[in-house]
Chains A and B, each alone.
Chain A
Amino acid sequence: MRLKNYLGKLIFLVIIIAIGVWTVKTKTPTLGLDLKGGVHIVLECVDTDQVKATPELVESTRAVIEKRVNALGISEAIVQREGGLNSKRIIIDIPGQRNLKLEDIENLIGKTALLQFKLEDGTVILTGANLKDVRVQLNTDPNKKGQAVIAFELDSEGTQKFAQATKENIDKHIAIYLDEELLMNPVVKSEIPDGKGVIEGDFTIEQASQYVALLKGGSLPLKVNILSSEVIGPSLGEDMISMSIKAAIIALILIVLYMTVYYRLMGFLASIALLIFVLIDLAILILLNATFSLPAIGGFVLTLGMAVDANVIIFERIKEEVRSGKTLKTGISLGFNKAFRTVLDSNITTLSGALAIIYFGIGLVKGFGVTLTIGILVSFFSAIFTTRLLLDIFANTPLAKNGKIFGY
């Protein structure tokens, strides 16, 4: 028995398995929109006659949209710029939530939210930029019960300007516009020195909350167009998850059965290697924070099929060697050596295809490319290291004497 020779490798494998189990058990995978439901919106900033969409302005537009989305009370929303530095695209991803309405978000995005305080002659004295705080309040006026108002507080510069303007315009109107729409046109009764006030405008609470969200975020520096939008209800996603897990398990069972029936003990060992492959592959994908979307799961199941391929190539080689009169041990060693180049070449060519998918693919297709790439790399390790180790160990046991068990 020369099992001692393999002890180091075996310990290495056990450590990897332990790390894999720990990762899969403790970390939760990132699910794609199609699986957990949610909203995905792609925006594009456009040039207008007044402003050009420079990278800086696109970035501040993104920041404003992020503030607005957060002000709606949505947790875990991601607002990010797509692609390179010169990209004018902004992507909004909001994970699946009950009661989430696409139109709320669309309304929120489209508005520029330019707040203006104007004098009777049309001079703008204040804008949204001078706001320090805005809140929704219920109207204290008993006649307008149930209506909401927007309470605001100005920053020091705004307070000063507002005090000055109210002082100079007593008994005159100061109009408040939001997005060029007149909200209210009150008459100034006295100077307002503390920079605090309320805006009334027949709002419902929902409307007022939306305006507050808009005002808190500030106005959008650029005009944006919605390029694409997608909403997937959360329970639809749940069905998809259970279906894909079922598909993956059935695929695994079918492959294990086929391999064991065709290659007997060798196939059974390859099946164990396949299970270890699944574990390591999953762990790496989770650690890399890869998104599990439907195409990604498709890529995963496909790599299940491909992971066994390397084993098939090696086993056929071993069978050939043994058939030509070599002992099992030499057969294994020769088979692996001869098949190594084939496996390497076939994996690298597949890999180049997968990398092309990642580099040029968009969105979901990209996710597929990532799982395929990781899958190919891990399957290579699985065939060259895990399967070989298991075979070597079994070739040293009495079981190896019984040729039929190895299926040749």
Chain B
Amino acid sequence: MSCSFTLYKSSDFIRKTATGKIDLARSLQGVHDLAQAAGFHRESHVLIDVRETESTVTHIEQMKLAMEFGNYRHLFHNKIAILIPPTSERIEKANLMKRCMDAEGFEMKVFVDFEHVIEWFSEVVPLGETP
């Protein structure tokens, strides 16, 4: 048996979980909701959990969505993680969204695993390994 110790200095985060079908109108509403919450919780990262959704948002609509996020840029101070289903179609869409968000000045990453989100949000300090 081998063991490793790791110290996690966690950061607070706000989490928006969506289920079902998401289109542009619903996504825009989600941006407004998140912006309002992010404005109240300025030290928190943001997790958008859309694993239980189907997306009908097109590439052009994704750009509109990123621009809408950009309108609230002053309210988002920290990292934004988006958690998606592990399908090639959703990964491709999410990566395009990430590029749009990068262009708007956001620090955004795409994940398919909740555990990796927490790793990204936390300051992780390895403390060593024992045999």
Report if A and B associate in a common complex. no
